[in-house]
Amino acid sequence: MKISFPYMGTTILYKKLLEILGHEVIMPPRPTRKTFDLGVKYSPEFACFPLKVITGTYIEALEKGAEVLVTSGGHGPCRAGFYHEVHERVLKNIGYDNEIIVFDALKDNFFKVLSSFFKIKANNSFAKVKEAIKTVYKMSYSLDKLEKEVTKRRAYEVTKGEFTTAWRKIKELYDNKVFTSEDVEKVELEAYELLNSIKIKEIPEQEKIRIGIVGEIYVVMEPSVNMEIEETLNSLGVEVERSQYLSEWIEFTLVPSRYSKSHEYEILKKADKWLEIGIGGHAKQSVGFIVDFYDRGFDGIIQLMPFGCLPELVAQSIIPKMSNELGIPVLSLSIDEQIGNANVQTRLEAFLDLVKSIKFEKQNKSNIISLQDIINRNRIANRTKEGIL
């Protein structure tokens, strides 16, 4: 059967998994304006932006000939858990009767996961499935490691565009050359060689600016919906790291039992003071990562959220006080189909000015800036023409 899936982050991973299991994969096209428009047209008006984009992606994938769609049910008590229900309705309404296979988090719905599993497993032996998962798992770790290098080094590239090209090549390498888990190491070496061959500017350590990105998983992970925010920031000369990477997400979806012991746990603990319980979505992670980035010496934070996102709005309500207490500037950006590139670029530039001035004033100890000052400036940075963000 011809399978497709939602487009999020390094999509070759899902492709790999399904291909190793012998399925024919229809690559969903990378979301574009057209995808957004389709999604907006056919999704319920007040659905969240990620749901709409995924609707658009599904339609495009079905047009390309996909027969079955695979997705994860998302986790935590938020609407993500309800996505596929709405998608099924929406697709039915426009005449598609295709099946959507959902992988819920194992602990939520064991039997459903099991049956989804058997559909995907097809005629493969358990050993084969295990190997496929292992391969993809390893691959995701490897790719995430490389991506982090890219979003760090790209800030200092001498010739514009080199890292972006290299990153694309690296993904192709993995796609073409990885078939078993052993292949991963070999390809990784090759990828590192590629990265190491790119010339970068030498910047003194104290002048480097690091920005952490937190927020709702889909808009954080998918560059085509967040206007390539990482690349844009890199091009403005700053290093970037995100709160979410695909490997963690895969770990959660496929190996939920390990999740509780992971890095995530530490992050959640850091959030306790601010948000005492998990409230669904990734709000608590967002809050925890702000603290974590701060602890690791980052200079600024950007929170990305779909417009109206419930859990992130709770985080957003808490952020101004966090920002003041920690003395780290935070910019919140809500994303929907109407957000414009130009507007974002200007706001990022203004924000980076703020980040830099705070950083350099902090370094210049004779001139310790007052917290109130940061608060005020942060407020100004979060203010747009129409009012406060």
Chain contacts with ligand SF4 (rule: CB under 6 A): 48, 50, 78-80, 216, 281, 306, 309-312
Contact status: 326 vs another protein (CB under 8 A): no
Pick the binder of another protein from 5, 274, 293, 294 (CB under 8 A).
Answer: 274
Pick the binder of another protein from 79, 152, 171, 359 (CB under 8 A).
Answer: 79
* Cα–Cα distance for residue pair 40/379, rounded to 1 Å: 32
- Antiparallel, parallel or unpaired: β 383-384 and 387-388: antiparallel
Q: What are phi and psi of 24, to 5 degrees?
A: -85, 125
| Nearest residue (CB) to another protein, 156 versus 218 | 218
Contact status: 95 vs another protein (CB under 8 A): no
136: number of Cβ within 10 Å: 26
| Nearest residue (CB) to another protein, 9 versus 311 | 311
**Given the structure tokens 């002048």, which residue do they identify?**
207
Contact status: 372 vs another protein (CB under 8 A): no
Q: 3-state DSSP helix/strand/coil percent for the chain, to nearest 5? A: 60, 10, 30
Pick the binder of another protein from 269, 321, 341, 380 (CB under 8 A).
Answer: 321
Beta pairing partners, 300? 211
Pick the binder of another protein from 132, 283, 328, 352 (CB under 8 A).
Answer: 283
Query: Strand (E) positions, the chain?
Result: 2-4, 24-25, 68-72, 99-103, 210-215, 239-242, 300-306, 330-335, 383-384, 387-388
Pick the binder of another protein from 54, 78, 195, 211 (CB under 8 A).
Answer: 78
**Given the structure tokens 């057209």, which residue do they identify?**
34
- Indicate if the alpha-carbon torsion angle 161, 149, 50, 250 is positive or negative: positive
Per-residue CA distances from 193 to 65, 102, 196, 276 (Å): 38, 38, 5, 45
**Given the structure tokens 């760090």, which residue do they identify?**
152
- Selection from ligand SF4, another protein, none that 111 binds (CB < 5 to 8 A by kind) is none
Contact status: 334 vs another protein (CB under 8 A): yes
| Nearest residue (CB) to ligand SF4, 288 versus 300 | 288
Select the span of 186-194, 218-226, 307-315, 339-347 touching another protein (CB under 8 A).
307-315
CB of 329 to another protein, least distance (A): 17
Amino acid at 228: E
| Distant-in-sequence, close-in-space partners of 254: CB < 8 Å, separation ≥ 6 | 133, 137
Contact status: 49 vs another protein (CB under 8 A): no
Is there a contact between 101 and 120 (Cβ–Cβ < 8 Å)?
Answer: yes
132: number of Cβ within 10 Å: 23
Contact status: 86 vs another protein (CB under 8 A): yes
* Cα–Cα distance for residue pair 170/175, rounded to 1 Å: 9
CB of 216 to ligand SF4, least distance (A): 5
Query: Strand (E) positions, 66-190?
Result: 68-72, 99-103
- DSSP helix/strand/coil, 8: coil
Pick the binder of another protein from 8, 40, 48, 374 (CB under 8 A).
Answer: 48
Select the span of 13-21, 61-69, 81-89, 226-234 touching another protein (CB under 8 A).
81-89
| Nearest residue (CB) to ligand SF4, 8 versus 78 | 78
| Distant-in-sequence, close-in-space partners of 179: CB < 8 Å, separation ≥ 6 | 20, 135
Contact status: 327 vs another protein (CB under 8 A): no
| Nearest residue (CB) to another protein, 169 versus 383 | 383
Pick the binder of another protein from 317, 338, 364, 376 (CB under 8 A).
Answer: 317
- Antiparallel, parallel or unpaired: β 300-306 and 239-242: unpaired
**Given the structure tokens 């090549």, which residue do they identify?**
169
Count of residues that interact with another protein, criterion CB under 8 A: 39
CB of 217 to ligand SF4, least distance (A): 8
| Nearest residue (CB) to another protein, 165 versus 384 | 384
Pick the binder of another protein from 307, 327, 337, 369 (CB under 8 A).
Answer: 307
Chain contacts with another protein (rule: CB under 8 A): 44-48, 77-79, 81-82, 85-86, 89, 93, 274-277, 279-281, 283, 307-311, 313-314, 316-318, 320-322, 334, 387-389
